[in-house]
Each structure stands twice: as C-alpha cells, then as structure tokens.
Amino acid sequence: MAAGEAGRRVALVTGAARGIGRSIAMTLARDGADLVLLDLCRDLAESPYRMAVDGDLAETAALVEQAGGRALARRADVRDQAALDAAVADALEAFGRLDVVVPNAGAVSFGRAWELTEEQFTTVVDVVLTGAWHTMKAAVPALIEAGRGGSIVVIGSAVGTRPAQNHAHYVAAKHGVVGLARAFALEVAEHGIRVNVVAPGSVRTELAGSDAIAKLMRPDLEAPRIADASEIMRANHALPIQWAEPQDVAAAVAWLASEQARYVTGAVVPVDAGWVIN
C-alpha cells in the first residue's frame, strides 16, 4: 500500500484483537499503513466460544509495530455509535487522516431458526450488520471531507450469498452486509470511495476450532471435538482443504484496499475454497 502525499495511509479495523482482524492489521501494516485497532475485548453471553481479551488486542498492536506500522488500540463495541465516532476522531487526531476502513467485528451462535432466543438473534444482527453500518457511518464523513477517496472492505461470509442451517440470524446478517455495502458503494462513489465485501468460508480461527463448531457439524455425537468434524469441513469445499488461513482473507482485503483495485467497487470477493460453488 503506497503512502499518500501526506504520509502513510491509515486503516481502521474492527474485531482486530485476533484471528482474521489481526491478520488484516498485520498485512496492511506490512503494506505501509498505520492502524487503528478496535475490539470489544470481552465475552458475549450469547456466544458459545471465548471472545478476545485486552491482552489479545495489545498483542495485535505489538505485531503491527513489529511489521512497521504505528498502532492505536481501543476497546470499542461496534453496537455503540458513539464509540465508533470517538475512534474515528482519535484516528484523525493521532494520525491526521483515514484511508481504509475494515468492518470485521463479528459474533455468532447456533440453533434452529425458530428456536433462537431474542437475545441470540439481536446480538448477532447488531454486531454483524448494525456494527458494520455504525463503522461506515462513523468513517464516511471523514473520508469525504479529506477528499482523497478511500477504500472500505467489509468482511462478509460465504453464507452471505448461500444459506446454511442452524445459524439463520448470522446468515441473515451476512446477507444484509452485502446489500449494505453495495448501497454504500453507490452513494459514495462520486467521492472516489470504493466499498467491497470479502466473503470467507471456513477459516482457521478461535471459532473454527471450537467445540461449538464441532457440535454444529456432528450433532450425532454426544461430545464431539473439532477433529470429529474434519471430514465434513473438507467436504464443504471444492478445493481439498479443511479451512483457509486468516492471511488468505487478509490478502484479499489488502488488494481491495490498494490502487491495484482502483476500479473495483460493489464487489463480493469469495475466499472460500469453492464453498459457495460446491
């Protein structure tokens, strides 16, 4: 990522403490960006797996600095518009600019559509869909005012274009992310701002290796472990892999954020090993 005339580009990433968000931050730092790193850093009662903690966010910041970038790390809940507005203001104060925005924060829980609780449904939709809207709502005015264009890359999902069972709220939210991103792409195009979606499939993260995923894929077993679901995970993909790596997603984000993708907007780029076509 080439530096602009006023210095290094600045990227804001939500859900940055670990997994895909961390890999995106490190990749953008290696490409010449300074990073604003946001994460909730606490568990959600409705999520059946451990969320990131403060130490994870601090580690991401250290890794960004090792990769050559400056890091501004903040705890922030993407469900809170004021927190996102404050993060953008902090970015402008610390770095003087904002160029790339990556709404990545996510949450998921599992259950049949009619058995999901109100709390499960609301939490997932608020984090995944409303959180992406909050992030873009906070960032777009700053991008427009700067007059340099910019790139927004929303992290979607393979289930944002093809549904899957037992997490209908997540499927709905990720479908919504695609529509939201494309609507933003139309509305900000006149300002030279591009908005795209990267849609991962199964990625090696804390969630992918959790007992919650094993139970989802092997309900026939009393106490399944992730190894028990490995063949099912491989069968989900056209390519012969169990899952992709976070850096595979980060590479797609980095390309969309670069000048090499200067005429790409409103696109959904799958990084799913052929999950959607399989």
Catalytic positions, written as ranges? 170
Give the DSSP letter of residue 29. H
Q: Is 5 exposed, middle or buried (0-12, 13-18, 19+ CB in 10 A)?
A: exposed
Q: Between the CA of residue 258 and those of 4, 72, 264, what are the distances in Å?
A: 12, 21, 10
Residue 66 CB neighbours (<10 A) = 12
Residue 194 phi, psi (nearest 5): -105, 145
Pairing of strands 71-75, 100-102: unpaired
Side-chain half-sphere CA neighbours of 124 within 13 A: 23
**Exposure of 82 by Cβ count < 10 A (0-12 exposed, 13-18 middle, 19+ buried)?**
exposed
Alpha helices, H only, the chain? 19-30, 54-66, 81-95, 118-125, 131-146, 168-188, 211-217, 230-235, 246-257
Taking CA 207 as the corner, what is the angle to CA 203 and CA 211, rounded to the nearest 5 degrees?
125
Q: Assign residue 266 a region: left if phi > 0, alpha if psi is -120 to 50, beta otherwise?
A: left
Structural contact between residues 204 and 230, judged by C-beta atoms closer than 8 angstroms: no
